Amino acid sequence: MKSYLLNFLMAHGRRLQWSNATFACATVLSGVMLTVVAVVFARLAYGIVLPFMRTGLGLGYQEAGNLATAGALSYLCVVIPAGMFSAHHGARASIFLGLGLIILGFGGLSIGSHYVLLIAMMGILGIGTAFSYTPAISLLASRFPQRRGVVIGLLNSGVGVGMLSAGALVPCLAAAYGDMGWRLVWGVFAAATAVTLLISFVFMRPSDAPVVHPRTVSYAPLDKMAVYRNRKVVIVGLIYGAIGLSYIVQAVFMYSFALESGLSASATGHMVVMSGVLTVISSPCWGWFSDRFKRHRALSLAILFTLASIAIPVIWPVHAAFAAHYIIAGCTITGVFVSILAVAAEAVTPRLVPLAISYVTFFFAIGQFIGPAAAGLIIEGAGGFRVLFAIICLVLLAGLLLSRRLSHAGENALERNSRKSTR
C-alpha cells in the first residue's frame, strides 16, 4: 500500500508538470503553507498559546520563558548544519526531515505534561524549523531565479497569514474546550503540518528535476569557505543580525510601550491586526520591487522606512505616532526580509544557496536570541522603553549604513553564478 501511494504521488507530480504555470503556483502555495507551519505555528505562535498553556500546567513565567529559549537555542545551533545537510542531500530531503520533526514536536506538546518533555519538544520544533524553512527558501529561490524576489515575498506573506490564523484559532479553541483547548491547538498544528508535508512531497522539487532515489545521487565536496569568506554574504549576515535583534524587540515590547504611553489594549490590538494584514499584502510587492530594481536599493529603502517607523513613537509617544508605526512597519518590514534573502541567494552559486541562506539566518537567530534579554535589562535599568527603542534605531542605522556597502556589487551576480555553476 505504501509503495502504491508513493508511485501515485510521483506520477501525479509528473502529470502536474505538464502545466508549468499550474505546477509553479502550486509549488509556491506549498511554500506558503510550509512557512505558516514551520515559522508561525512552530515558533511565533507559542506566545499566543502560552497564557493558556501556562495556566493549564501551572508553569511560572521563568519556566515558560525557558521553553521559548529551548526553541530559539536549538534553532540557533542547528541552522547552519541544516544548510549543510540541504546542500549535501538536497532541499527536499531536508524539508521532509524538518516537517517530520515538527509533527513530532507538536504531537509531544499536545499530550505531554512533564516539564523536561516539554523542553525537549520545543527544542525539536526549533530543529524542525531550521531543517525546513531555509531549505524551502533556497529551493524556490533557485527554481524561480528571475522572480525570486516575488517568490520569497509570497513565502514571507505566510507569516502574516499564519499569525492572523493562530490569533483567531487559539482563543476560540481555548474558550470552547477549556483547559484542554491548548492541547487541541498543538494537535491541529500537527495535522496542518502533516498535510503540508504531503503537499510538499508532490510539489517542492527543483524545476524539471527527475524523480530519483536519493541513493543514486552523488555530490562533490562543498566549498564552504566560498560562503563563509564571501564578503557580500558576511555583510548581509551582519545586516540580518541587526534586523533580527530590532524585529524581535519591537515585536515583543512595542505593544507594552504603547500601553505605558496611555493607549488602550483594544486600540493597540487593532493596530497590530492592521499591521499583520498590511504585511501579507506588502510582502510580494516588495519582492516585485526588488526584482524590478536593484536589490541593495530595495533593502536600504526598507530599512530606512522601518527605522522611521520606530523613531516616530520614540520622539512623539502618542496615539497617532503608534498608529504610524504599525502602518509603516506593516508595509515595510517584509521588504527587509525579502531583499536580504534574495541578495544572499544571488551572492553564491546555486548549489551553495542553502548554505548561504542558513549562514545569514544564523546571524538573524543570534540577534533574536540576545534581543529580548538585553531589552529587558535596558527597560528596567537604563531608562525605559524610549531609551530602548532609541538604541534600536541606532542598530537599524548601522544596518542601513552596511546596506549601502552592497551598492558596489555588480548587478549581474545571478549571471556570474550561473556561469560558475556550468564550469
Q: pLDDT per residue over 343-371, tens digit each? A: 887 787 777 777 888 888 889 888 888 87
Q: Are residues 176 and 266 in the same domain?
A: no
CB 335 within 8 A of CB 284: no
Residue 234 has pLDDT above 60, yes or no: yes
Residue 34 has pLDDT above 80, yes or no: yes
Q: Are residues 113 and 240 in the same domain?
A: no
pLDDT band at 222 (very low <50, low <70, confident <90, very high): low
Q: Are residues 148 and 21 in the same domain?
A: yes
Q: Taking each helix axis from N to C terminus, what angle separates 385-404 and 353-381, rounded to the nearest 10 degrees?
A: 150
Q: Are residues 105 and 201 in the same domain?
A: yes
**Looking at residue 193, what is its pLDDT?**
95
* Distances from the Cα of 385 to the Cα of 258, 380, 396, angstroms: 9, 9, 16
Q: How many domains does the chain have?
A: 2
**pLDDT tens per residue, range 7-17:** 544 454 444 44
Q: Does residue 181 lie within any of the structural domains?
A: yes
Q: Does residue 289 lie within any of the structural domains?
A: yes
CB 296 within 8 A of CB 343: yes
Q: Are residues 70 and 184 in the same domain?
A: yes
Expressed in angstroms, the distance from the first to the final Cα of the chain is 44
**Domain harbouring 92, CATH code:** 1.20.1250.20
**pLDDT tens per residue, range 76-119:** 888 888 888 887 888 888 999 999 999 999 999 999 888 899 99
Question: What is the overall mean pLDDT for the chain?
Answer: 80
Q: Does residue 180 lie within any of the structural domains?
A: yes
CB 322 within 8 A of CB 261: yes
Q: Are residues 286 and 399 in the same domain?
A: yes
* Mean of pLDDT values over 130-135: 88
Q: Does residue 318 lie within any of the structural domains?
A: yes
* Helix ranges, 90-230 (H): 91-111, 115-143, 148-177, 181-203, 225-228
Q: Are residues 234 and 135 in the same domain?
A: no
**Looking at residue 19, what is its pLDDT?**
53
Q: Does residue 219 lie within any of the structural domains?
A: no
Q: Are residues 193 and 242 in the same domain?
A: no
Q: Which three cell numbers stand for residue 396?
A: 537599524
Residue 50 has pLDDT above 70, yes or no: yes
Domain termination residue (choose one: 173, 205, 237): 205
Q: How many CA atoms lie within 13 A of 161 on its CB side?
A: 18
Q: Are residues 398 and 300 in the same domain?
A: yes
**pLDDT tens per residue, range 279-334:** 888 888 888 887 787 778 888 899 999 999 999 999 998 999 999 998 998 888 88
Q: Which residues, at least 6 apart from 69, have a Cβ–Cβ distance to it below 8 Å?
A: none
Distance between CA atoms of 81 and 86, rounded to whole angstroms? 9
Task: Classify residue 130 as exposed, middle or buried by CB count within 10 Å of its CB (0-12, 13-18, 19+).
Answer: buried
Q: Does residue 19 lie within any of the structural domains?
A: yes
Amino acid in position 104: L
Distance between CA atoms of 70 and 54, rounded to whole angstroms? 16
Q: Are residues 164 and 30 in the same domain?
A: yes
Task: Provide the domain limits for residue 350.
Answer: 225-405
* Closest-CA residue to 204 (of 129, 92, 83, 345): 92
Distance between CA atoms of 105 and 107, rounded to whole angstroms? 5
CB 261 within 8 A of CB 317: yes
Q: Are residues 233 and 193 in the same domain?
A: no
Q: Are residues 58 and 128 in the same domain?
A: yes
Residue 47 has pLDDT above 60, yes or no: yes
Task: Classify residue 386 as exposed, middle or buried by CB count within 10 Å of its CB (0-12, 13-18, 19+).
Answer: middle
Q: Does residue 220 lie within any of the structural domains?
A: no
Q: Does residue 331 lie within any of the structural domains?
A: yes
Q: What is the dihedral of CA 96, 98, 101, 103, to 10 degrees?
A: -70
